[in-house]
Amino acid sequence: MMKTSLRPLGLVAWSPRCNTGRAGRLTMLRQISRFTSVASSTDFTPSPPSPPSPARASCRLRLRNPNSTLSRRGTGRLTISTGPAPKSDRGNSRNLVEGNEGAQAAGGKAAYPERLIIYHAGTGKTTFLACLKVTTLFVFGFFDMIMTPAYIAAGEPFLKTAGVALCGLVPAVYVAWSTGPFVAAMHMHLPPYARWSRAILERFARTAPPNTRLDVTTMTLIGKPRVSSMTLADLRPERRRFGMVNYVRDTARADARRRWWRFRAVGEFNVHEQRGSGGVKTGWVWNEVKEGIDKRAAAAAGVPVGQKGRK
């Protein structure tokens, strides 16, 4: 008997998992009978494959191994390989950055903004100091702009008039002097590569270059925010004003570029010593940046890295 292949005859291997029903069994019997008649003849001419019946199309191929791969070759045969996945596929999965916090899933949007807030003194404290500044200005206006001229016009004694004037002048001067270095918030400008995941941001914060831009927000006499732009290299730890100032910078170059009628640049800052989040989710960045500032200041002063370089 001539040995022939079942593929040209369109014969499909029977599987009890195929839910074909009566129509499928009849189709299988017709194919077996046709194969028997063709194989017994001497002049064998393979017939073209019959189109798949609806019953046969309902069969499903289930893969036990999740690493199995399917491929169709030029001969029309279906090849199933149950080996492990290619190394290239496994390598691509390792290249995914951990902790991207959904940045890639959000349509390629970065996880962090370009101007990232790294420190905040707290809304309650900032609001209280702003209201205190404005209140002292009203007190100064009442005592020194209204009461003092009235005492002078009435011919009151000098000491009494001076005491009334000091009642409005002393609170305003003290509040302005003590709260001037108060830092309400700080923002750091991030490079594009450091904005995609927390892991990359942590590495950047630990090794932030000295030319990284930093925006420090303080308050004016009327409680209005005032932003001072600088680099990390400009800041150095130093205590002044009985501990009310813990970071300073050299403002000689910035003042030289300013017009005479403008306010002088802020050179003294009071950053609250805290190891928490600082009121924001990314407050941990400032803790890393602060350590880098302290290390650079200690290296410039010749102090060992393990010791603090504060005065």
Q: What is the pTM of this model?
A: 0.61
* Residues 249-294: tens digit of each pLDDT: 998 888 888 888 888 899 999 998 765 556 788 989 999 999 999 9
What CA–CA distances, in Å, run from 106 to 125, 165, 201, 243, 280?
Answer: 35, 61, 18, 46, 22
Q: Write b or e for each residue in 159-187: b if 16 or more Cβ atoms lie within 10 A of its Cβ, otherwise e.
A: eebeebbebbbebbeebbeebbbbbbbbb
Average pLDDT, stretch 138-164? 94
At 221-260, the pLDDT tens digits run 898 999 999 999 999 999 998 888 999 999 888 888 888 8
Contact by Cβ (8 Å): 285, 276: no
The two three-digit tokens of residue 56, written as one number: 């046969």
Check pLDDT > 60 for residue 59.
Answer: no
Chain centroid offset of residue 238 CA: 31
Q: What is the mean pLDDT of the chain?
A: 75
Q: How much is the pLDDT for 63?
A: 42
Say yes or no to pLDDT of 142 above 50: yes
